[in-house]
Amino acid sequence: MVWLAFLSNWELVEDKGAKLGIFCTAPAVRNTPANLLCEIIATIMLIVPVFALTSKAVAVPAGKVPYMVGILIWGIGLSLGGPTGYANPARDLGPRIAHAILPIAGKGGSDWGYAWIPREGPFIGGVYAYYIALAAGILK
């Protein structure tokens, strides 16, 4: 769908990074340890509050949880989305594969050297979030 939406632009745009950016995430500043840490922190900041909001110990009315999670995701995007593109392996991997296989005029590489960060950072952050929530008594 994205490829079709931008079909008339592929030959007009020369910037290979801009073409890749339509499909997947890229760091604002390429610094592997800092980029990985940002993904880990963003995931922790998502998962621990979601655990809390859905915990029986916290009395959040069921109808309010989706709204609160949406606001949480929005806040994380505004605060931690800039350095690496926003804590979401699905937002990166599938579109990166699409970029690699679709015929796009003048495209560059799909930057597979960076692709592991938005995939592994959230997994690592999820594990840390679980243990933080467990230690905080959110999970019983």
Q: What is the pLDDT of residues 74-100, one digit of tens each?
A: 999 999 989 998 767 888 999 999 999
CATH number at residue 75: 1.20.1080.10
Residue 10 counted as domain residue: no
Per residue in 34-57, pLDDT (tens digit) is 999 999 999 999 999 999 999 888
Percentage of the chain beyond pLDDT 90 is 69
pLDDT at position 87: 64
Q: Is residue 76 assigned to a domain? A: yes
Domain assignment of residue 104, given as a range: 31-135
The reply to whether 98 falls in a domain is: yes
Total domains in the fold of the chain: 1
Does residue 7 lie within any of the structural domains?
Answer: no
6 found inside a domain: no
Amino acid at 22: I
Is residue 128 scored above 90 in pLDDT? yes
Is 5 within a domain?
no
